[in-house]
A = this chain, B = another copy of it.
Amino acid sequence: MSRMAAKDRREELIAAAFRVMVREGVTKATTRAIVNEAKMPLGVFHYCFNSREELLQEVLTRFTDRSAEAARKAFQEEGDLSARVCKSLGTFWDGVELSPGEHQVTYELTHYALRQAGFEELARRQYESYLEVHQTLLTEATESEGIRWTVPVPVLARYLNAVLEGLTLCWLVDRNSEDSRGVLRLVGDHLLTFAEKKE
């Protein structure tokens, strides 16, 4: 194998682990499966990582950041509040249907973290990040649209997060897009009822 800095190999291993997880699930992402995906000999693994858990930690935080980034990108800037909410939800959902595996893995990682001693904090950070993104976007809308929310923003954020996560999970199982989008419309309209013109 051509010589490569340990740092670079770490990144490639993380990317390989990412692919394996999306394709086959978290439990199947063994050290051997990962180095095989990266086309590296097994010995490389523990030269770059102290343990498999260290890799998993890294992957989980990247997934979390990735989700947050995707959510932020889904947030539309143009049009009136109604159009923006509708578009944002639609864009989020397109992402789900486009890459179901990635979303599936985020759930698996959460449950893995909840059961792994010393990993609970990572799961907590994951959901803290989710909620924070929703809060930020809700608050941003407040300023740019000249409205205020008639319900506490943390509650609204949790509501949105719950619906989106629950809906995604259900779709991952039964793939019923039509009803799912119906729910999305329901929630979008519902959200608008909490927006009140300022003054």
Question: A115 within 8 Å of B by Cβ?
Answer: yes
Q: Bound state CA distance, A28 and B114, in angstroms?
A: 13
Binary contact readout A156-199 vs B (1 if CB under 8 angstroms, 0 otherwise)? 00110111111101101110100110110011001000000000
**A152 contacts B182, CB within 8 Å?**
yes
With known contacts A24-B115, A104-B111, A158–B183 Cβ distance under 8 A = yes
Question: A108 within 8 Å of B by Cβ?
Answer: yes
With known contacts A115-B25, A128-B174, A190-B190, A169–B158 Cβ distance under 8 A = no
Residues of A within 8 A of B (CB): 24-25, 27-28, 104, 107-108, 110-111, 114-115, 123-124, 126-128, 130-131, 151-152, 154-155, 158-159, 161-167, 169-170, 172-174, 176, 179-180, 182-183, 186-187, 190
